Chain A
Amino acid sequence: MKKFIANTEIDVNDEGYLTDFSQWNKDIGNELAKEQEIEMTDKHWEVIDYIHDKYKNEEPLSIRGIKKSGVINIKEFYALFPAGPLKKATLIAGIPKPKSCI
């Protein structure tokens, strides 16, 4: 479905995740974060950059990966993106949430 955000039209799925990463930009990320009641800081963006790197290399995202990333520890990750940090961080980053095969 279509969504209008940060003066741009984007395509999202039922849960609000972007279906086409090429439509993403930082302004959209900011607005998506606001909808999750998250005010983005430099630390938030560092995490988003890390997530984008993993996504581009097609590496799976996990809490363990975050722990080893050197960007942030897990408690901080939960503090930045409360309640389901991977779900929220991927939504803001404009990429699909971590999935299994079914």
Chain B
Amino acid sequence: MKNLVILGAGTSGTMMSNHLVSKLPKKDWKITVIDQYKTHYYQPGFLFLPFDIYTTKQVKKKGKKFIPKHVNYIQEKIELIVPENNQVKLESGTTLNYDILIIATGTKIAPDEIEGMNGPEWHKSVFDFYTYEGAKALRNKLRDWKGGKLVVHITEMPIKCPVAPLEFAFLADSYFKNKGMRDKVDITYVTPLGGAFTKPKATEALHYLLEEKNIKEVTDFNIERVDYENNKIIDYADTEVEYDLLVTVPTNMGDALIERSGMGDDLNFVPTHKATLQTKDYENIFAIGDATNLPASKAGSVAHFEAEILTENILRFIEGEPLKEEFDGHANCFIETGNGKALLIDFNYTHEPVEGTFPFPGVGPLKLLKESRTNHMGKMAFRWIYWNMLIKGIHIPFVSATMSEKGKEFEKTT
């Protein structure tokens, strides 16, 4: 009997267990999934929780429901990976041997990385919305906030779901308008990059959104510290931005397990081949989703496309065949723009998001890089797709793992 061990039961780990349970012969392979947490969160919902669009119940379920019956599911903290011995050690002292290991331990926020961020004002006037606790605390704050300077801020790249902070700013504009207090709120978007939009096509097509919603932009801002006593953030060039309410996306880092095991880069992400998903250092260890250092977006859709290709590569690896160098960095994301509308973007390692139709060329019904109500309905429907199809490893019709160039307006892209 051989052992395939999956570390993490989030979006990627759950998907992989569902894919592999039907593909690996049960008499030869035992599949084990390890995750210490009992709750599976619908992370895209964390964007909606602060604005009372989703309830807490809509974004969490018991993780066990989604792990197939024939999979050995261990709910315990993982202490160490010992790749030289093909072993995983658990907190209780148990050691598991593996023939193949899949790392799906994701990424976490690390507010301790910036002085003053995780201080006395954390979840009082300084919030994140990338955790369930942060999003819920922010919801409670917003419910009776009287207005002032709202600063939406990105600490540094890479972050999970790079468009989420922008969506947060758009939804905040709608939220305060609906409450009849938009005139009492000043919204500023602060980014370490050159702009809220950084790709030429997207900048051209979407910059109007910031003007239309009266969202100010502070660019090239590399935060040094949060001065929580005087309510301002300060960057290395001594630029200061004042806030009454700071909504920040802290540094994103891979799990501490990766650091303990000596397997990560500066940010604890696992060096991984970008087309095959095999780790660079160990041929029987694969990595998927946010845990990798791939130059792709850290997003559920990316993990979904990776899972289809990784499943095939695991089977090839077992058969001793060459791995398929097929993953192209494909991502497909809805972007809420507020007021019941959304955008859709579809892109990969080499192609920036462009205008067009999706998934049927020339037909749609979804429009790329353009605001529409249909796109918003797509985003809302996605929660159902996530719980009922995506993490169960059911193929989403008409959407392929690699990006399609059909129905898109590419003329100027490089």
B200–A64 touching, CB < 8 Å: no
Classify the interface of chain B: helix, strand, loop or mixed: loop
| Complex CA distance for A58 and B347, rounded to whole angstroms | 18
A63–B345 touching, CB < 8 Å: no
- Central interface residue in A13, A64, A68, A100, by most chain B CB within 10 Å: A100
A100–B274 touching, CB < 8 Å: no
**Given A62-B156, A64-B156, A99 and B193 contact (CB-CB distance below 8 Å):** yes
A59, CB-defined interface residue at 8 Å: yes
Residues of A within 8 A of B157 (CB): 60, 62, 98, 100
B266, CB-defined interface residue at 8 Å: yes
| Complex CA distance for A65 and B115, rounded to whole angstroms | 17
| Least distance between B246 CB and chain A CB atoms (Å) | 19
| Complex CA distance for A65 and B148, rounded to whole angstroms | 34
| Complex CA distance for A100 and B166, rounded to whole angstroms | 11
**Given A60-B157, A62-B192, A101 and B162 contact (CB-CB distance below 8 Å):** yes
B364, CB-defined interface residue at 8 Å: no
Residues of B within 8 A of A78 (CB): 236-237
| Least distance between B328 CB and chain A CB atoms (Å) | 14
**Given A13-B200, A19-B414, A102-B163, A64 and B331 contact (CB-CB distance below 8 Å):** no
A97, CB-defined interface residue at 8 Å: yes
Instruction: Choose among B156, B251, B353 the residue that contacts A102 (Cβ–Cβ < 8 A).
Output: B353
Instruction: Choose among A65, A84, A101 the residue that contacts B297 (Cβ–Cβ < 8 A).
Output: A101
Residues of A within 8 A of B345 (CB): 101-102
Instruction: Choose among A65, A84, A102 the residue that contacts B199 (Cβ–Cβ < 8 A).
Output: A102
Residues of A within 8 A of B297 (CB): 101
B197, CB-defined interface residue at 8 Å: yes
Instruction: Choose among B113, B198, B293, B414 the residue that contacts A100 (Cβ–Cβ < 8 A).
Output: B198
B162–A58 touching, CB < 8 Å: no
| Least distance between A78 CB and chain B CB atoms (Å) | 6
Q: Scan B154-171; emit 1 where CB is below 8 A from any A CB, else 0.
A: 001110001100100000
A64–B353 touching, CB < 8 Å: no
A56, CB-defined interface residue at 8 Å: no
What is the interface size of chain A, counting residues whose CB is below 8 A from a CB of the partner?
A: 24
Instruction: Choose among A63, A74, A101 the residue that contacts B347 (Cβ–Cβ < 8 A).
Output: A101
Residues of B within 8 A of A101 (CB): 162-163, 199, 297, 331, 333, 345, 347, 353
Residues of A within 8 A of B414 (CB): 13, 19
Residues of B within 8 A of A98 (CB): 157, 192-194, 198
Residues of B within 8 A of A52 (CB): none
A35, CB-defined interface residue at 8 Å: no
Q: How large is the interface on B (under 10, 10 to 19, 20 to 34, 35 or more residues)?
A: 35 or more
B200–A58 touching, CB < 8 Å: no
| Complex CA distance for A60 and B159, rounded to whole angstroms | 11
- What residue of chain B has the Cβ atom nearest to residue A14's Cβ? B200
B192–A63 touching, CB < 8 Å: yes
| Least distance between A37 CB and chain B CB atoms (Å) | 17
B266–A83 touching, CB < 8 Å: no
| Complex CA distance for A100 and B156, rounded to whole angstroms | 11
- Central interface residue in A63, A74, A78, A102, by most chain B CB within 10 Å: A102
B236–A74 touching, CB < 8 Å: yes
Within 8 A of B (CB), among A61-102: 62-65, 68, 74-75, 78, 83-84, 86-87, 97-102
B199–A68 touching, CB < 8 Å: no
Q: Scan B194-212; emit 1 where CB is below 8 A from any A CB, else 0.
A: 1001111010001000000
Q: Scan B219-237; emit 1 where CB is below 8 A from any A CB, else 0.
A: 0101010000000000011
B295, CB-defined interface residue at 8 Å: yes
B303, CB-defined interface residue at 8 Å: no
B194–A97 touching, CB < 8 Å: yes
- Central interface residue in A78, A97, A98, by most chain B CB within 10 Å: A98
| Complex CA distance for A36 and B335, rounded to whole angstroms | 36
B112, CB-defined interface residue at 8 Å: no
Q: Scan B178-204; emit 1 where CB is below 8 A from any A CB, else 0.
A: 000000000000001110011110100
B265, CB-defined interface residue at 8 Å: yes
A102–B200 touching, CB < 8 Å: no
B residues near A (Cβ < 8 Å) are 113, 156-158, 162-163, 166, 192-194, 197-200, 202, 206, 220, 222, 224, 236-237, 251, 265-266, 274, 293, 295, 297, 331, 333, 335, 345, 347, 353, 414
- A-B pairs with beta carbons under 8 Å apart, 8 shown: A58-B295, A60-B295, A64-B156, A64-B251, A97-B194, A98-B198, A100-B157, A101-B199
Known pairs A62-B157, A86-B222, A99-B193; list 5 more (Cβ under 8 Å): A84-B220, A98-B192, A98-B198, A101-B333, A102-B335
Closest 5 CB pairs of A and B: A102-B202, A63-B222, A99-B198, A84-B220, A100-B162
